[in-house]
Chain A
């Protein structure tokens, strides 16, 4: 059929001539190519010691953020859980007690916040849905594990480390 795009390239297949049938010139050329690679710098990154930099739009493990005073930003509104297409996020909300003012920014907070990393598809919709800028997918690769229950990450693994006292 006639090509519409005119991009089709017809390869001509002719029988090999004598020099080509001797194989040797082509083999020597190939050997030269591989030998040139012998002296090139290897592109290996020795992973556990060296970590390759992630690109700026990389989405990795979630982290629950704190504000500038070190209080958890999450108010357990459930928008992230609602927006999650994989239904990986669950949470239980609780009311803040007066003495906990330094811990939580809003009056309502997430007492339990769990993400099932086996369900998560790292789409970033939770990040977009969050009105409090509390969740970001800015962590590293989620490490492997042996049991399914160990992939359900609670607040102990998700919440950012508290600010250091200055």
Chain B
């Protein structure tokens, strides 16, 4: 095996992990700031200028807190839960193409950890695995509220996974590939998939809100009914892991939405820009554009959270099974017909 290859991948993985952790850290800060601005407040502004050191203070607090494991909890699983949640949140970044290939001293360095040809399905697998962190943690706490929350999380995730999968099938009919790299490459310039698949995008977005357990679908941690949900019994950094995993999930699903529907690192007039600068700089500009899109989505996630009240559980299930799934199936049929007609003529 080429030693450069190992170094390059190792560097990429390290960078990605640190980026996702930093973004998750600052998402907590951004969330509080956005919430404050939407409610005519100021938000945290004491730690450092404009409060930018707030995440560090929060992290320190999390580390310093006493660690409590309930005496009747299943200790081993109680510890596995948050770790699993964190792991599943982090490994999603592996298949996302973060930019065009770089050219360093004649070596082509792809800005993607691995381009497996079932990338989209891999993402699904990671998402569906993510629920185990919540389920195991909720069950191991030996608390009825945590258990109810774990069960809610499981049924919610499974229900919305179906609609999510169906909404993406319509997209795959168009792209003819499961590799994320190729899907992004097809959206060159402004040929973003969202233009051809607006309904599919809306369904996918609603489902990703549900999959990340974000408001208005944050029923697993709904305070008024379930105290703290699955992390009722958690304290210290284990709680921190759960909260962190939620923000990393938000980051990853924003990245997935930007990649699948909003052109990834592509932007209008990119060819004109690429004509004026060196290829490496052009690729990095693409990466910056991708991150801009991701931040826009993260902001949207927060904006929605502070706007829409939480759904009731039956409304959630009705929306998933009776609205989103039929819509997604209709979307597949329409897409199929249109593709067949276009291919015919």
Report A's interface with B, CB cutoff 8 A.
24, 27, 30-31, 33-35, 37-38, 40-44, 46
Contact = CB atoms under 8 A, between A and B. Distances in A.
B307 A30 contact: yes
Contacts of A24: 202
B36 A42 contact: yes
The secondary-structure label for the interface of chain B is: loop
B288 interface: no
B308 interface: yes
Contact of A34 (B41, B42, B45, B306): B306
A44 B306 CA distance: 18
Contact of A42 (B37, B303, B308): B37
22 contacts: A24-B202, A27-B304, A27-B307, A27-B308, A30-B307, A30-B308, A31-B303, A31-B304, A31-B307, A34-B38, A34-B303, A34-B306, A34-B307, A37-B38, A37-B40, A38-B37, A38-B38, A42-B36, A42-B37, A44-B40, A44-B41, A46-B45
Q: How large is the interface on B (under 10, 10 to 19, 20 to 34, 35 or more residues)?
A: 10 to 19
Contacts of A38: 37-38
Interface string B303-330: 1101110000000000000000000000
A47 to B, nearest CB: 11
A42 B306 CA distance: 16
Contacts, number: 36
Contacts of A41: 40
A35 B308 CA distance: 13
Given A31-B307, A42-B42, A43-B40, 7 more contacts: A30-B307, A30-B308, A34-B306, A37-B37, A42-B36, A42-B37, A43-B41
Contacts of A33: 307
- Interface-centre pick from B36, B39, B40, B307 (highest chain A CB count, 10 A): B307
Contact of B41 (A27, A31, A35, A42): A42
Contacts of A35: 38, 303
Nearest to B35: A34
B284 to A, nearest CB: 31
Nearest to A35: B303
